[in-house]
Amino acid sequence: MQIKIKSNRIESIDILRGVVMVLMALDHTRGYFHYDSFLSHPTDIDSTTPLLFFTRFITHYCAPVFVFLAGTSAFLYGSKKSKFELFKFLLIRGIWLIFLEIVVNNFIWFFDFSYSIINLQVIWAIGFSMICLSFLIFLPKKVLLALGTLLIVGHNALDFIVMEGQSFQNIIWYFMKQKEILTIPGHIILVNYPLIPWIGLMALGYLFGTFYQKEYEVSLRRKWLLRIGIGLLALFFILRYMNFYGDLYPWSSQNTTTKTILSFFNVTKYPPSLLFVCITMGPAMLFLYLFENTKNKITNFFLVFGRVPLFYYFIHIFVLHLLAILVLLIIGGDWHDMILTGDDEGLRDSYGYALWKVCLVWIGVVLLLYPLSKKYMIYKANNKDKWWLSYL
């Protein structure tokens, strides 16, 4: 018997979100299982390999698409609500996401009841950006467009400002612009997602929702998707080649052509540079252009994860962490090594697997979570009268 799903959602957007959610799991799987994950970074040109670099680069698409489409979803949700209702929803949801990031996400990442590490990641960025967007929706669209563009394009002009210390004004700067590690007694706070460009990206995502209003002509939307996609990619290659603006770190010629290419594409995520946004959102626009009306078994697979992104986000990290503990037990290691507190010396010399094994774990976890995600998707779609589901 076929299960009916009541939904008016835009499938191409959910498919794109689903693709990036699946890719995101690759990066997180590598973090828990790759033998080099505790020793070096996959984008370190001196130590990485092209394949390892690619596994990180391809997951760069996740956070910006996730944040951008969160803004788009806010617009589509608000199209059936009053401005005040949308304001209330965004404000409460933003606060809720920040709570989930600090309390729930940090625990499932580290399994540390003392919260010795508090990592402010993408859920934090989305939550804070939603709080900001709850106020920004009252601005005229042209003003919001200008502001969002300025935050993304202009923030790299402030790269020369580097703060040190933990004065109040410096801490505010870290949260808004500069990636930093803060320390308070018994805790380390990792400010990995400075907020200025993320707020701008969500604001532009919100305006992007106008392309998906029911009265908007499909052919015109596809023309804009193609133009924006090609335009962002062209801007990336022009600015990156000129090497004078748009990223915290210029590229440089290396001792091999391969390393030079890796240096060229090694753009800054924390915070996302203008070039980072161009090289990620450009292909995202082209994806939406190409998959406007595509529907098959493959797109249906990704659609499931795209419709329950928050549910999938938390559960896949939890499962990966449990699997990492299980593997340590099987190989005779100390499972306590997977209670991550920042002191991971026990794992550096005795743990980790080749990249192809990491990919097998990634695929296995995604397939494992598909039936559960699908059940939740169906339940959520058929129970829209339950208001609390909109927060999960």
247: left (phi over 0), alpha (psi -120 to 50) or beta: beta
Rg of the chain over CA atoms, in angstroms? 21
pLDDT computed for residue 365 by the predictor: 98
CA distance 162 to 271: 13
Contact 6, 382 (CB under 8 A): yes
Beta strands in the chain (DSSP E): 117-120, 180-184, 187-191
- Reduced to 3 states (helix: H, G, I; strand: E, B; else coil), residue 13 is helix
CA distance 175 to 364: 36
Query: CA separation (Å) from 309 to 25, 169, 274, 303, 316?
Result: 12, 35, 25, 10, 10
Q: What is the DSSP letter of 139?
A: S
Q: What is the dihedral of CA 335, 339, 340, 343, to 10 degrees?
A: -70
| Segments of the chain scoring below 50 in pLDDT | 1-4
CA 325 from chain centre, in angstroms, equals: 25
Neighbour count for residue 183 (Cβ, 10 Å): 9
In SS3 terms, 155-202 reads as HHHHCCCCCCCCCHHHHHHHHHCCCEEEEECCEEEEECCCCHHHHHHH
CA distance 236 to 242: 10
pLDDT computed for residue 8 by the predictor: 65
pLDDT computed for residue 346 by the predictor: 52
Query: CA separation (Å) from 156 to 9, 194, 273?
Result: 35, 12, 7
Task: Find the farthest-apart pair of alpha carbons in the chain and give their distance in angstroms, rounded.
Answer: 63
The pTM assigned to this predicted structure is: 0.94
Q: What are phi and psi of 183, to 5 degrees?
A: -125, 135
Nearest Cα neighbor of 286 from 60, 61, 126 is 61
CA distance 93 to 73: 13
**257-299 pLDDT tens trace:** 999 999 999 999 999 999 999 999 999 999 999 999 999 999 9
pLDDT computed for residue 2 by the predictor: 41
CA distance 20 to 63: 8
- Reduced to 3 states (helix: H, G, I; strand: E, B; else coil), residue 118 is strand
Do the bridges between strand 117-120 and strand 180-184 make them parallel or antiparallel, or are there none, so unpaired? Answer: unpaired
